[in-house]
Structures are given as structure tokens and as C-alpha cells.
Amino acid sequence: MFAKNKKIKVLEIGSNTGFTSIEIAKVIDAEIVGIDVNENAVRQADFILNKESNEVSEKVTFQVGDATNIDFEDDYFDLIITGGANTFIRDREQAIKEYKRVLKPNGFLAITNLFYNKKVPVKLLENLKNILGFEIKLWRREYWLDLFLSSNMELYFYDEQEMQSRSEEMLESYIEYLMSEYSNKNNSNEIPLNEIKEKWTNIMRTFNDNHKYLSYMIVILRNNTINEQQEFFIGKGTIDPWNLEVNNKFW
């Protein structure tokens, strides 16, 4: 995908606490920048990065940044990666334009994005709204594909998988793990531990239920300098980017 003996430039949109950018630094020789609108997340990413070896940490930088106004020049990055952050970007059309602007000709945009594969019970939507503080829209596959393909970049690769919820036993075990981690890091607890545990259990149970209705897509787009020739014969079930049917974007 990339030229040999060339140090590629990678941008992660919505780097959060830095996990993905750091993992990339462990497997390829690249200059990696992670941006996030949340200052606290950037500080935590820097904290975690400083624990890594110099071989890893010298490849990565984190900074506060807005996906709709990326502070880099045109044609700068070889690869842009982004995941769940797209859900929280209000002006997504502008963000897609920015991704394309800072991406080099023939560079790649790799997207991992959740979408709803069926209708969701009203009560679950209410619970999600109470936790997140905003109303969740039931975006279908077609909504996101239509958005990403509006960039006029080539659909280089597409795949999707259904998410799965975990058992109640696994949920309870995970909550115990979170509580042990929290207790180790917080010696003086202003809030009683049982209240914290109850809140985390309610949150994780809601998210776990939500996964029964979710799938995720892996989309790789290439920033072609010449428009791709339209294909007529394609495999059964293959996404046809030239004739994408967008009858319903929401459930």
C-alpha cells in the first residue's frame, strides 16, 4: 500500500486516550498524530505514551484538534484512521471534506463505524439518552456509506460484522474488574463504592443491551487522482458505490 523505505504520516481522528495510535507505532515505522477535541483525553494519552519505550513514544504526538478544521496543510498524510468519533461530530460533511483535504493523492482513509442493523426498543433508547446526554439516532448502514462516499473517493475495501452482547456473568465479572482498578487508583473515595458500582453496572448493562442491535463496518477509501472506472459485473452482496441504494437512512 505504501512505498518502501518511506516513513509514512498517519493521522488518527478522535484519538481519545491514544490506544490505536500507540498500537500503530508498535507495528510500523511512521510519524503518527492523534487529535481529539477533549483536552483531558489528550492529557491522558500523553500520560500513557510516556510509559512506552522511546522506540514507540518518539513516533507519536497527541494534540487537541477539531475534525472539521484540521490544523495541517493540504496533501499531508498518507493514512487517516477514524472510528467512533464520527458519531459525535456534528458537521460530518465538513469533516469528510477535511479528511480528503489533508490526505495525499492516492492516500487511504480507514474508517471503523458502528451502525444499527435493526430497530431498537424505545426504553433502551431512553436509557442511552439518559447516560449520554443526547438522543441517539438509529443510523443504518446506508446513512454512513452515503456520507463516506460523498467524498468521491474510491471504495477500496468494505466489510461488516455484527456486534454481540455478553452474558450477565461476564458483565458482573467485568464490573468487578473495573471496581478493583478504581479502588487501586483512588485511596480516598468521596462517593461510596457501592454507589459507583451500581452506576457502572447500569451503564454497562445498557451498552451491553445496545450491542444486540449493532453492527460495525470497516471502510477503506482511496483518494484517487483519477475517477475510478465504474464496474458492471460485481459479486453478489458486494457494495456497489456507483449505484448505492439509500432508501432509508434511519430505522
Average pLDDT, the chain: 94
Q: What gap in Å lies between CA 122 and CA 215, rounded to an integer?
A: 19
Mean pLDDT for 24-33 is: 97
Q: Tell me, what's the pLDDT at 220?
A: 98
Average pLDDT over residues 65-87: 96
What tens digit of pLDDT does each residue of 150-169 get?
Answer: 999 999 999 999 999 999 99
Mean pLDDT for 28-39 is 97
Q: What is the mean pLDDT of residues 108-116?
A: 97
pLDDT at 237: 87
Q: How far is CA 123 from the centre of its chain?
A: 26
Q: Which of 18, 240, 20, 203 is nearest to 124 (CA)?
A: 203
Stretch among 21-30, 40-49, 91-100, 227-236 having the lowest mean pLDDT: 227-236
Stretch 130-156: mean pLDDT? 95
Q: Between 190 and 91, whose confidence is greater?
A: 91
Name the least confident of 75-79, 218-222, 246-250.
246-250
| CB of 173 closer than 8 Å to CB of 142 | no
Q: At what angle do helices 92-102 and 141-149 cross, to 10 degrees?
A: 40
Whether residue 82 is predicted with pLDDT greater than 90 in this model: the reply is yes
- Confidence check: pLDDT of 189 > 70: no
Q: How confident is the model at residue 183 (pLDDT cuts 50, 70, 90)?
A: confident
DSSP 248: -
28 pLDDT exceeds 90? yes
Helix or strand run (H / E) with residue 12: strand 8-13
**pLDDT at residue number 191:** 78
Write down the pTM of the prediction. Answer: 0.90
Cα angle 135, 139, 141 (rounded to 5 degrees) comes to 165
What DSSP string describes 69-105?
B-SS-TT-EEEEEE-GGGGG-S-HHHHHHHHHHHEEE
Residues 90-109 have a mean pLDDT of 97
The pLDDT score that the predictor gives to residue 187 is 58
At 91, is the pLDDT very low, low, confident or very high (cuts 50, 70, 90)? very high
The crossing angle, in degrees rounded to 10, of helices 193-210 and 168-185 is 140
Least confident interval from 15-19, 141-145, 234-238 = 234-238
* Angle subtended at Cα 14 by Cα 10 and Cα 15, rounded to the nearest 5 degrees: 65
- Interval 199-222 mean pLDDT: 97
C-alpha span between 157 and 237 (Å, rounded): 13
